[in-house]
Structure 1
C-alpha cells in the first residue's frame, strides 16, 4: 500500500470514528432532552421545590397524590454509599494483591473468576439477596425482615467489585517499574512501596475505578428492587426498608396511565438520577485532573 492510499484509508477511518463519537453525543443529548421535555410537563402541575423537599411519595392517592422525591433520593444515596464503603477497600486491596503479590498462576485463576462475577445477571444476585443475605442480616441483627438498605448495599458492593478491581488493577500495573525499584533501592519494603509509592502514583486510575463502580451501583435496578423492601419512606438507617429511584421507575412505569401527572413524575425522577450520575462523573474527572497536575 503506497503513501497516498494509506493516507486516504486513514482519513476514512478518522471520519468513521468522528461520526461514531458525534452519534454517541447525539444519543446522550437526545435522552437528556426527552427527560427534560417530560419533566417540564410534570412541573407545570407540581412545584419543583415541593418535588425535591417533600417526604412523601404516594402517587396512587386519588384524592391527593404526593410526589416528594426526598425519601427516594436519600434511599438511593444511602444504598450507594453503603455499597462503596464495602466495595472500595475490598476492591483496591484485591487489585493491589493481584498486581503486586499474586503469582502468575494465581492471577490466571483469580482474574477470570472476578470477570465472571460481572456476568452474573442482576436478577440472580437479587435472588441470592432474598434467600441468603436477607435472612442472614435478619438473624444477625434480630429484625423481622432482611430486605433493607444493608442488604441492597451488600449486593451492590458485590456487583461493583469486578469493575473496581479490573480498572484499579490495570492502574496499579501501569505504574512504571522504575518507581518500585527506586523505592527498594532506598531501603523500603514491599508494603511501604505499595502504600507510599505505587498507590499514590496510580491514584488517577483508582479514582476512575471508584467512579465507575459508583455509577454501576447508582444505575442498578433489579437487585435493589428485589432486595431492599421497596418502602417509600424516609430511611433512618441501613436496617430500614427503602425504595430507590431506579426501583421506583421499574415498578411504576409499566402500570402508570399514559401522559398523566404520575407518568411525567417518573420522567422527572429519571432526570434527577441522570443529573446525579453526570455530576458524579464530572466530579471524578475533575478529581483525576487535579491529581495528575500534582504528580
Structure 2
C-alpha cells in the first residue's frame, strides 16, 4: 500500500515536471518567434532606416515613396481612427452580449446565442469584406457618397471583433466563483447590483485582456478594411471620408514595391508590430497590477 501511494505520488510529480517543461519550452519558442519577426522587419527596413531620420515618416509632406516622400501619419491616423471607432461600438455590445448569455437568457436561448457568436468568430475576414463591399458600402453611399469610408471600416471591424470581446468576457464571467454570487444574493442585492458590485470586479482582468486582444486584431486587420475603406491616403475630415490603414497599404503596394519603397513598407510593418507589442505589455502590466 505504501509503495502504491509512493508510486502514484512519483508519477504525479513526474507529470507535473514534464508539463512545466513543455509549457516553458512553448513560452521560449513563442518569445523567440516574436524576436525573429522583429529582427527580420528591422533588417528588411534598415536600408532606409540607416539613411534617413525616423522623424521623416511623420513629418514628410506626402506619401510618394518613389519620389522620396514617406509620410505614414495619414495611414497611422486611419488605423487608429478605425480601431478606436470599432472598439467604442464593440466593447459595450460585446460585454452586454456576455452578460445576456450568463445572467439574463434562459439556458436554451443562451446556448444558441453563444453558438451564433462562435459562428460569427469563425467567419473569414475576406467574407466580412465581401459583404461590406456589396451591401454595407452601397447603403452608406445612399446616405453620403462615396460609401467606401471610415464609417464602413469602423462597422466592419466592430462586427469582426465583437465575438472576441463577447467570448472572452463570457469566459471571465463564468470563472467568477459561485460563492461570490451566492453571498451577494444572500445580502439582498438585485441582479444588476450583483453584476456591478461582484461579477465585474472579479472578472475585470479577463474582460480587459479580451479587449486588448480585440484591439490587436482591429489594428492588424487587412483584407476586410482594404475592401471597404476606400484606400485614399489622407486625414479624414469625417466618418464618410475614405481612409487607408497601414496594414492595407502593405497589402496594396508590396506586390510591386522595390528598393526604398519596399523598405518603407517594412517600416510600416515594424510600426504595427511595435503597437501590438505595446498592447501585450499593457495586458501584462494590468494582470500583474491586479494580481498584486
User: Structure 1 155/54 Cα, relative in aligned 2: closer, same or farther at 3 Å?
Assistant: same
Q: Which residue of 1 aligns with 2:26?
A: 20
Greater mean deviation of Cα atoms: 278-287 or 162-171: 278-287
Q: State the match for 2:238 in structure 1.
A: 237
Q: Distance in 2 between matches of 1:187 and 1:126?
A: 48
* Cα distance in 1 between the residues matched to 2:98 and 2:69: 46
Q: Report deviation, 1:16.
A: 3.6
5+ residue gaps, structure 1: none
Unaligned runs of 5+ residues in structure 2 are: none
Return the alpha-carbon distance in structure 1 between the equivalents of residues 164 and 225 of structure 2.
18
Partner of 2:253: 252
Residue 145 of structure 2: aligned partner? 144
* 2:89 corresponds to 1:86: yes
Worse-matched range after superposition: 66-75 or 193-202: 193-202
Distance 1:72 1:6 in 2: 54
Q: In the alignment, is the contact (CA less than 8 A) between 1:55 and 1:69 conserved in 2?
A: no
TM-score by length of 2: 0.91
Confirm whether residue 38 of structure 1 aligns to residue 39 of structure 2. no
Q: CA separation in 2, counterparts of 1:202 and 1:21?
A: 25
Work out the number of aligned pairs and report it. Answer: 286
State the distance in 2 between where 1:225 and 1:286 align.
33
Query: C-alpha separation between the residues in 2 aligned to 1:187 and 1:26?
Result: 52
CA distance in 2, matches of 1:166, 1:132: 27
Does 2:62 match 1:56? yes
Is residue 101–residue 110 contact of structure 2 (8 Å, CA) maintained in 1? Answer: yes
**TM value normalised by structure 1:** 0.90
- State the Cα distance separating 1:197 from its structure 2 match: 2.1
- Match among 120, 125, 128 for residue 125 of structure 1: 128
State the SS of the aligned residue for 2:238: coil
Query: Partner residue of 1:289?
Result: 288
Structure 1 vs Structure 2 CA RMSD? 1.9
Q: Deviations over 1:176-235 (max 9, x none)?
A: 222222222222211221122211221111101111111111111100110100001122
* Cross-structure match for 1:176: 177
Question: Distance in 1 between the 2:27 and 2:15 partners?
Answer: 18
Q: Is 1:72–2:71 an aligned residue pair?
A: no
Q: Where has structure 1 moved over 6 Å in runs of 4 or more?
A: none
Deviation at 1:255, TM superposition (A): 1.3
Alignment deviations for residues 121-141 of structure 1 (CA, whole Å, 9 cap, x no partner): 11111011112111222223x
Note if contact 1:55-1:71 (Cα within 8 Å) is conserved in structure 2.
Answer: no
Q: Which 10-residue stretch deviates more, 272-281 or 178-187?
A: 178-187
> How far is 1:274 from its partner?
0.4
Counterpart residue number, 1:162: 163
Once residues 282 and 12 of structure 1 are traced to their aligned partners in structure 2, the CA distance between those partners, rounded to angstroms, is 28
Q: What do the CA deviations read for 1:41-83 (whole angstroms, capped 9, x no partner)?
A: 21123321111233521224xxx33111111111100000011
Secondary structure of 2:55's aligned partner: helix
